[in-house]
Amino acid sequence: MSDNAVNITVLLFGACREAAGTGELRCTLSSPATAADAWSALKQRIPALAQFERTALVAVNEEHAGLAHPVQDGDTVAIFPPVSGG
Amino acid sequence: MSEDIYEITREPINKLGLEQRLLTGGAGAIVTFDGVVRDNTKGRRVVTLQYEAYAPMAVKEMRRVGEEIHQRWPEVERIGVIHRFGELKISESSVVIVVTSPHRRVAFEACHYAIDRLKQTVPIWKKEIFEDGEEWVEGQRPS
């Protein structure tokens, strides 16, 4: 691994998890990385996720985040549909 | 507030127990919201609901809603939120929210606010299992 590598854990929930067929995977991005980069890498790996591109929400380290949010080595990025609890 | 309660559980929710855990001598009102599983959606018969949670983040976000409430309604004494996950049958409670305060008005207002915010920000999803299929419930994307 070079110094440039940003290794992250990606968590998927709900319809995103089901479409991907997995709830957790590892991803390597190059530095500097944002949540948008994580999304791009993920869609490339799992094309079925592209259908959620316009609706999915992102959290970085358990906090809601925008696509411009920076992602660092060791971070956890969660991708999920708009919430529907209650 | 440190005595507030925020939990995610697979087990049936003990509503009375939650109220008792939150009750203090200073409270004059307890308002409890109990969200239960309905047997139909748009004319389709629902058999069960499956709830999925991003548990650690869900607890954080529930706590954040509680913090917002204590700021907006300083009179509120205690808040308790328990959300279930896993498979739920018709009429079972999916979420129970309890707010206590010295007088009723703020408890009503704060409890109403709590369930509305929970549905916007807390990372939990539900899937409806119908007699003839299944479907994830689409939440509202925050604007």
Residues 7-46 of A with CB under 8 A from B: 11, 13-15, 17-18
Q: Does residue A28 form part of some domain?
A: yes
Position A4 scores a pLDDT of 86
Q: Does residue A56 form part of some domain?
A: yes
Nearest by CB: B52 against A14, A63, A86:
A14
Give which of B12, B127, B90 is closest to A15, Cα–Cα. B127
Q: How many helices (H) and strands (E) does chain B have?
A: 3, 9
Q: Does A81 touch chain B (CB under 8 A)?
A: yes
Position A2 scores a pLDDT of 54
Instruction: Work out how many domains chain A is built from and give that number.
Output: 1
Predicted complex ipTM exceeds 0.90: yes
Q: How far apart are CA B88 and CA B94, in angstroms?
A: 7
Q: Does A85 touch chain B (CB under 8 A)?
A: yes
Residue B99 has pLDDT above 90, yes or no: yes
Which CATH number do you get for residue A34? Answer: 3.10.20.30
Q: Which one has a higher pLDDT value, B2 or B91?
A: B91
pLDDT per position as a tens digit, A49-68 = 999 999 999 999 999 999 99
Domain assignment of residue A46, given as a range: 5-77
Q: How far apart are CA B109 and CA B31, in angstroms?
A: 9
- What domains are there in chain B, each with its CATH number? 5-136 (3.90.1170.40)
Helix (H), strand (E) at residue B34: strand B29-36
Nearest by CB: A82 against B53, B58, B139:
B139
**Looking at residue A6, what DSSP letter applies?**
E
Residue A3 has pLDDT above 90, yes or no: no
Nearest by CB: B125 against A62, A63, A81:
A81
